[in-house]
Homo-oligomer: A and B are copies of this chain.
């Protein structure tokens, strides 16, 4: 970018590496940072630094945590007979928000993707198997994403886990609540029909 002073272009380039930030957003954020008081920028920087310093992966479930084991794994109120398997820590938060699930979690940190060279070894699968050893876990809920990679990961895990004697379930797929049939794609509509329930 010929038109900016070099430190500004450099910041814009760095900001563009962030997910969901294109050139225009990066520019807006850079100029915003230029304008705000230094204390505000300091606060942002120290928040970033703190997250990198204090947050690690939970040695049991692989969720991001500031103490190990994490608050879910150590919470005596949670049901230790169920583990919900998710791709990313953000997915865990989505499930927590329902306030329905009271079991434990396991974060895979990705999904199987031959095209991107991500095989079972790249995911936190071995530690999931280890968690089943003591026989406390009765059910594994596969809550990987309802897309090709998430489905492939769920099938792979189901094949791996079923012989171990645990119940393996998959989250339901169908029409989102509040949506309209008119806008449903064929695959979702197909799932919604196939998974219909008697009322």
Chain copies in the assembled complex? 2
Q: Which of A25, A40, A88 has the most CB of B within 10 A?
A: A25
Contact B47 A10 (CB under 8 A): yes
The CA-CA distance from A20 to B54 in the complex, in Å, is 27
Contact A52 B47 (CB under 8 A): no
Contact A45 B45 (CB under 8 A): yes
The CA-CA distance from A11 to B20 in the complex, in Å, is 17
Chain B residue nearest to A96 (CB atoms) is B3
State the interface size on chain A (CB cutoff 8 A): 53
CB-contacts of A1-38 with B (<8 A): 2-8, 10-11, 13-15, 17-21, 25, 27-34, 38
Question: Which single member of B5, B19, B27 contacts A65 (CB below 8 Å)?
Answer: B5
Contact B32 A19 (CB under 8 A): yes
Q: Which of A18, A49, A67 has the most CB of B within 10 A?
A: A18
The contact string, 1 if C-beta is below 8 Å from chain B, for chain A 150-191, is 000000000000000000000000000000000000000000
